[in-house]
A and B are shown apart, each in its own frame.
Chain A
């Protein structure tokens, strides 16, 4: 099979199939990237994640407790070099588990704070698809 390239080939997935990305770096565009996996938590949880430079994105957040979805939310984010805003598109299930996202911005780099209420076995996973 020939491969024709007009630009660089950038490997976006690691060996496990997840998008390769490290906090603080820009997220590859057009692919869903896991930006937070809280691990198992038992008390209130909050984590700020530097998601790099982005100007628009879709953010999907899952709250899972003992392997059952308790809350899930979809957000849209947008911003410039100095500011950013984020709005919820939809939310389902036990709507009091996930906290609203908060976002701060410095030189285009967005830092998003994810938080949740947690009982034993709770986990928070967040994914971003950067558009721009």
Chain B
């Protein structure tokens, strides 16, 4: 993984010092709340229900065992002994007092970490495929490009106060595990017929109130030009993006409203930078810089393809080992190696949550089995990227005793969920109790396996941190008269091969009351099981039979909301409820 230079180390330390200066002025009453707010946000500090929340950047999801131990120490010494991995591969703390925040920034800097641009209306942490550099379906490793873009976007002076947040995701594999269509800029590294590397560039994707899939701006942009192209996109956005309405301020609205005119403006700006600006080509990435950064992303010393002996299947291990192999162990580009997901989806803990002790255990597993390296997945799990096939039985034993071995990756209980109303000041409803209720109901592994591949995504509000739009089943928390309600969507896709092209799910019926939501999910699952043909996946059944059977089944479990339904609701006409909320 990327090795910090002296400059990089000094830079994050000075960022911490700058933050301390701002905090001191704030605590001394010289920097009022609303002005300190924008500054602390750009270092990852929100103020939540109970205390400030800190979001720590995990660039493109790559993490060392040493860093994870540093994060564990912060959870233990400054928080209440746990933290939460997010869908954008970051880590969040919930209970750190604000007057300790500068100290925590120093602690992060000590392990080459920071909260720079993890919030605020700026270019956020760049996310990627959690199997970057190890996936067999990958043609170009996105990590060095991600690192070069991270450095370029860090403290960019022109783009710190954009109309709204700006998110970039990059992948280099044929399977999209980074949901690039849902990002402000989505980048897909590809090789052309001549074998040259370039980016397919999508612009203007996003979730929130108006889900939009990004538009292809370039089919093949030579990789050397990517920083200039992003600069052109962001400059046009900074100039024309709406600032009068927070819900219309993302670039997706501008791309939709302006259409070809926006594309033309970006292309003209790109040309002007290169042809007219002083040193306009200075940000063309030279091969030497790529090579310098790429040197950090070589295969770890001691790792080399070896003849595969197959996955060991010792007869004395229980069936759950076999299940773990099937769900939590993934193909690798190197023969003899596998990637292993440590599941952070289990009863008793919220999706993506991890205690300080579990962080230490995961760091130990990474040291012992994965050359000290881990990844954070978009689905809020941890991944060990360099595991020898022959180590799998021992790793399974160790992961199981650390509660990381639930064999549920890609299944219903491997759900994405935001922290919701238990923590988040923005949320309309809680996510965690509903996630817990669903997890409790689907504890039977046979049943879970029978249901098969399915993406369940839960967001506590329309900000969509839990990516409800892209779930095969999406749950959105809504507030009506101060009570928690849940809107259900079906058929969404993050853009993965199983799910089909990226697509926002469709709403089925009026929102469900809090005491109906889990029943409604169960009704959706039961409908799938009764309707599916052969080994058809959930998403394919939804596509084939449409929403009506699901509407009828979920309406049948309504109690609190039964009287709100129109009289002919059982027939569930396709247009009945799309605008229910």
| Binding partners A and B | no
* B contact set with A: CB distance below 8 Å: none
Give the interface of A toward B (CB within 8 A): none
